[in-house]
Amino acid sequence: MAAPELVRRHNIKLSGRADGQPIVFAHGFGCDQNMWRYVAPEFEDDYRIVLFDHIGMGQSDASAYDPDRYGSLAGYAADILDICRALELDEVVFVGHSVSAMMGVLAAKEEPDRFAGLVLVGPSPRYIDDDGYVGGFGEADILELLDSLESNYLGWSSAMAPVIMGNADRPELAAELTESFCRTDPDIARRFARVTFLSDNRADLDGVTTPALVVQCSDDAIAPVQVGKYVSAQLRNASLVLLEATGHCPNLSAPGPTVAAIAAFLRQLPARRAVR
């Protein structure tokens, strides 16, 4: 696909240094690129910033949504690679929040030479508990969550946003997330939710050699600390930063510590072109 068409389809926004090392920011379920507005600008002086919306989210072209392609996270990972190819990005630092973290893992596993680093913010390779593995939810809990979402998406959005965001003393954050959910096409959101909460990508962590940073909040109802520790332990070349922060969206609730963690990781990358 030609770059201009892909830019339109994914509402791609470019900023920062045109000759800088690219940082690609990917948002989580029910969100859009606006969720990075407190983080991405902090890197514009030294890096080329790439923001985009997943198909069906934000200002993307929802008519491009293909249930078969997006029936697994592999379809979203393919989009990330398409964007990198169309924009001729190399030595990419990929920053993925929530479910996008696993998309980045899949993309880096497919084309390891294209990526210089992975920043995985609140990642979870499997949300459902398993023998010897803590995902944070029982299978019945996830099925109930999906049933609720499918029967009353708007009600689910207003009920779940405060749980996902945390920070009950800052209700404006949950309100923003609720509004973001409500802007998403309900049918696409239902399909994306099933892909997000029923996927098991634990095996995909094996063999990923790209340097990685796992950014984990100390109190996260969606991806508990055990999950962050698991991801960092399973990746061959990963470190873990535990933020003293509440909720699943530190890019909104704790942008300062999130920026600091990413900046420290960038300084350690051997192939970096610019130093923050």
Tokens 């249930």: give the residue. 67
Q: How far apart are CA 259 and CA 236, in angstroms?
A: 24
Q: Which amino acid is at 64?
A: A
Catalytic annotation on 82? no
User: 117: which DSSP letter?
Assistant: E
Catalytic annotation on 219? no
Catalytic annotation on 60? no
Q: How far apart are CA 8 and CA 66, in angstroms?
A: 17
Q: How far apart are CA 52 and CA 24, in angstroms?
A: 8
Q: Which residue spans within the chain are E strands per DSSP?
A: 13-16, 21-26, 47-51, 92-97, 115-121, 212-219, 238-246
Residue/partner pairs of 175-178 with CB below 8 Å, 24 or more apart? 176/252, 177/30, 177/31, 177/249, 177/252
Which among 79, 220, 232, 253 is annotated as catalytic? 220
Give the helix ranges, DSSP H, for 152-254: 153-165, 171-183, 186-198, 225-234, 250-253
CB 49 within 8 A of CB 19: no
Chain centroid to CA 92: how far?
15
Which among 60, 98, 124, 199 is annotated as catalytic? 98
Q: Which amino acid is at 204?
A: D
Rounded to 10°, the helix 171-183/153-165 angle is 140
Question: Catalytic residue numbers?
Answer: 98, 220, 248
